Amino acid sequence: MPLIEIRNLEKIYESGELATPALKNISFSVEKGEFVGIMGASGSGKSTLLHILGFLDKPTSGEYIFDGKKMSDFSEEEIAGLRNKNFGFVFQSFYLLPKMTVLENVVLPLIYSDAPESEWETRAKKAVDSVGLTHRANHDSAKLSGGEKQRVAIARALVNNPQIIFADEPTGNLDSKSGQVVMEIIQRLSENEGRTIILITHETYTAAHAERVIRIKDGAVESDEKVAHRHGAEEKLIK
């Protein structure tokens, strides 16, 4: 059974008498542990699709089945639980609290979880270590480079041990070297830990880290193909 199944999904934004279709009759599935890139130009509908997949928005029509259950059958409480425990989100703009340390930022999702407080620091340190930032754990997040901030955001997304990571343009604010480091981390989460990854990007080079790329154009699926020449994730420890 696929982890994610989308059937004839449509999203229409209405403003007065004006109706703007953002997604048109989209259908695809994602298996557990699969690394899928969703690629398209600005305004193609890819971020709208991610928001629906992450239960941050609802479709106008069509079906979204997550782990065997229809989106429409989830209660608001169940959706909140999914977003906190099962989903990890990584956004282009990092969304770190600047006056808090790296470790304090990573602990934040645990405050809203059912994890015992006695485990918070240990779990946060493990997540920080997994992105190669142990030496920065007690630094204020405002003093980090862009690449380091995104690695903190990945650690924060990992701290609740989510089933799936949604990454929306994770390299969009980074230089090419920092972006490569971030993508190597994300690829290792797929290859070494078996996590399901949904990556939103407009960059061909970034998408090449995925196993499969779904191209979106004008709100519709243009192509859905396996990546022939995939970038390899390096096994070196990131400094």
CA distance 231 to 209: 5
Percent of the chain past pLDDT 70, that is, above it, reads 95
CA distance 229 to 74: 38
Provide the residue count of the chain.
239
User: Are 196 and 161 a contacting pair, CB within 8 Å?
Assistant: no
User: Are 36 and 200 a contacting pair, CB within 8 Å?
Assistant: no
Name the pTM for this structure: 0.89
In the block, tokens 């995939």 appear at 230
**Is pLDDT above 50 for 236?**
no
**Model pLDDT for residues 71-87, shown as the tens digit of each residue:** 999 999 999 988 888 99
Strand order in the sheet with 69-70: 18-30, 4-15, 61-66, 69-70
User: Are 128 and 158 a contacting pair, CB within 8 Å?
Assistant: no
- The correct CATH number of 30-58+76-237 out of 3.60.15.10, 3.40.50.300, 3.40.120.10, 3.10.20.30 is 3.40.50.300
Return the minimum-mean-pLDDT range out of 8-12, 159-163, 189-193, 214-218: 189-193
Q: Given pLDDT bands bounded at 50, 70 and 90, which one contains residue 232? A: low
Domain chopping of the chain, boundaries: 30-58+76-237
**Model pLDDT for residues 165-186, shown as the tens digit of each residue:** 999 999 988 888 889 999 999 9
**Is pLDDT above 80 for 105?**
yes
Q: Is the dihedral of CA 9, 14, 17, 19 positive or negative?
A: negative
**Is pLDDT above 80 for 237?**
no
The per-residue pLDDT of the chain, averaged, comes to 90
**Model pLDDT for residues 121-159, shown as the tens digit of each residue:** 999 999 999 999 999 999 999 999 999 999 999 999 999
Burial of 63 (0-12, 13-18, 19+ CB in 10 A): middle
pLDDT at residue number 92:
86
212-217 and 220-226 beta bridge pairing? antiparallel
Q: Which DSSP symbol is given to 208?
A: T
